[in-house]
């Protein structure tokens, strides 16, 4: 077989597998959104009419979905030879956590949901590639906002306030004594909530452009019992009137989504008290473009092409820096014209600009 034929076969095989995976991701979204997995978890083995009734869907649809899920190995079946409506389907114990626990580090339902959100705006993405215009974040639908919230939720809820922040002793001390904190581009609020839970003397103000994110953030804060110390407001982080007296600010996984990251960093500088601290946590991309790249890097690139860059191209002067947070970091630091010192923070890197008010933490 020639090299060209080998390349051909390999590509076809690879994209066939990817397409099959994508198709199954869409069916996982159905089970998640319609509550079918929840019904199977709550009731154990079920015949097709039972989860259909529980989820309020047509039994014929339920039956086909259950068969597909069993064929895909996501559900198990007790007797494949039984009549269609008498087969009993079960969600295996090991599949419950990834599909139904959004705070688990193994949670995968949000990942599936994000691709459905992206697929829904592909015509707009194509048009944006042609026109050079944006696909605004809110065009990606509520699914993307919810998926984004659930992406970071496991580590923010489990360790941001209780492990990451305490690993920076001077910051930990300031937060323990009481501080005013801003969570910039806060999304659905998990960083702000985690921080407020870990430090009972802090108050946190979360800001995000997206109204739906703020609506969910307020609900999350109320459910977490911290709404008296954590507020959320739909606002542009570059708004210069946000000057204030913050001791600490965070920007979690958002710098690379901003159309004007340096302007926002400047505005945050104004929000901070002298000697205040900014923590930027973002995707740990490779420092330089590599090809072929690791799976993680390939995933980042796919999100960047399909979502981060289009949502950041909201005006012709957009900095459009989405591909590399490292490049944003060095650009922002250079603008401060100061020397930079770095120190290790467990698996992360923290660097502070000479003003002492800028630090970045790259996961």
Ligand X SMILES: C[S@@+](CC[C@H](N)C(=O)[O-])C[C@H]1O[C@@H](n2cnc3c(N)ncnc32)[C@H](O)[C@@H]1O
Q: Which residues bind ligand X (CB under 6 A)?
A: 137, 148-149, 152, 185-187, 207-210, 213, 236-238, 252-254, 257-258, 264
Q: How far is the CB of 101 from ligand X (least distance, A)?
A: 18
> Toward ligand X, which CB reaches closer, 137 or 246?
137
| Sign of the four-CA dihedral 197, 211, 98, 55 | positive
Nearest to 115 by CA among 48, 223, 32: 32
Question: Are 357 and 277 a contacting pair, CB within 8 Å?
Answer: yes
> Toward ligand X, which CB reaches closer, 181 or 238?
238
Q: Which residue is nearest to ligand X (CB)?
A: 187
Beta-carbon contacts of residue 268 (< 8 Å; ≥ 6 apart): 182, 184, 237, 249, 251, 278
Beta-carbon contacts of residue 318 (< 8 Å; ≥ 6 apart): 134, 259, 260, 312
Q: How far is the CB of 361 from ligand X (least distance, A)?
A: 13
Q: How far apart are CA 358 and CA 251, in angstroms?
A: 11
Question: Are 244 and 268 a contacting pair, CB within 8 Å?
Answer: no
Q: How far is the CB of 91 from ligand X (least distance, A)?
A: 28
Q: How far is the CB of 182 from ligand X (least distance, A)?
A: 11
Question: Are 337 and 355 a contacting pair, CB within 8 Å?
Answer: no
Q: How far is the CB of 105 from ligand X (least distance, A)?
A: 15
Q: How far apart are CA 258 and CA 165, in angstroms?
A: 24
> Toward ligand X, which CB reaches closer, 153 or 174?
153
Q: How far is the CB of 117 from ligand X (least distance, A)?
A: 12
Q: How far apart are CA 231 and CA 183, in angstroms?
A: 10
Which residue bears the tokens 């076809």? 12
Q: How far is the CB of 347 from ligand X (least distance, A)?
A: 18
Q: How far is the CB of 251 from ligand X (least distance, A)?
A: 7
Nearest to 344 by CA among 219, 167, 177: 167
Q: For residue 282, list its beta bridge partners.
A: 362
| Sign of the four-CA dihedral 54, 60, 64, 70 | positive
């Amino acid at each position: 077989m020639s090299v060209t034929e080998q390349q051909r076969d390999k590509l076809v095989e690879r994209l066939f597998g990817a397409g099959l995976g994508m198709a199954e991701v869409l069916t996982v979204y159905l089970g998640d959104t319609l509550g079918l997995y929840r019904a199977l978890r709550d009731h154990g083995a079920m015949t097709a009419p039972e989860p259909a009734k529980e989820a309020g869907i047509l039994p014929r649809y339920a039956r086909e979905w259950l068969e597909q899920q069993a064929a895909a190995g996501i559900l198990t079946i007790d007797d494949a030879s039984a009549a269609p409506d008498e087969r009993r389907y079960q969600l295996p114990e090991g599949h419950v956590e990834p599909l139904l626990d959004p705070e688990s580090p193994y949670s995968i339902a949000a990942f599936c949901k994000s691709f459905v959100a992206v697929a829904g705006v592909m015509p707009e993405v194509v048009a944006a590639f042609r026109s050079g215009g944006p696909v605004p974040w809110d065009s990606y639908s509520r699914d993307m906002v919810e998926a984004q919230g659930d992406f970071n939720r496991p580590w923010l809820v489990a360790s941001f306030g209780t492990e990451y922040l305490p690993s920076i002793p001077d910051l930990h001390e300031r937060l323990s004594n009481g501080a005013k904190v801003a969570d910039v581009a806060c999304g659905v609020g998990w960083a702000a909530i985690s921080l407020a839970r870990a430090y009972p003397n802090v108050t946190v103000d979360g800001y995000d452009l997206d109204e739906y994110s703020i609506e969910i953030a307020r609900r999350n804060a109320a459910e977490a019992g911290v709404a008296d110390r954590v507020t959320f407001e739909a606002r542009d982080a570059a708004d210069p009137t946000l000057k204030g007296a913050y001791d600490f600010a965070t920007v979690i996984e958002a710098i690379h989504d901003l159309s004007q990251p340096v302007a926002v960093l400047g505005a945050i500088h104004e929000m901070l008290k002298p000697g205040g601290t900014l923590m930027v946590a973002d995707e740990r991309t490779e420092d330089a473009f590599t090809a072929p790249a690791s799976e993680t890097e390939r995933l980042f690139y796919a999100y960047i092409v399909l979502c981060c860059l289009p949502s950041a191209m909201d005006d012709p002067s957009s900095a459009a820096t989405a591909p590399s947070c490292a490049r944003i970091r060095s650009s922002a630091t250079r603008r401060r014209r100061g020397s930079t010192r770095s120190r290790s923070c467990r698996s992360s890197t923290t660097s502070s600009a000479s003003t002492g008010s800028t630090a970045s933490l790259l996961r």
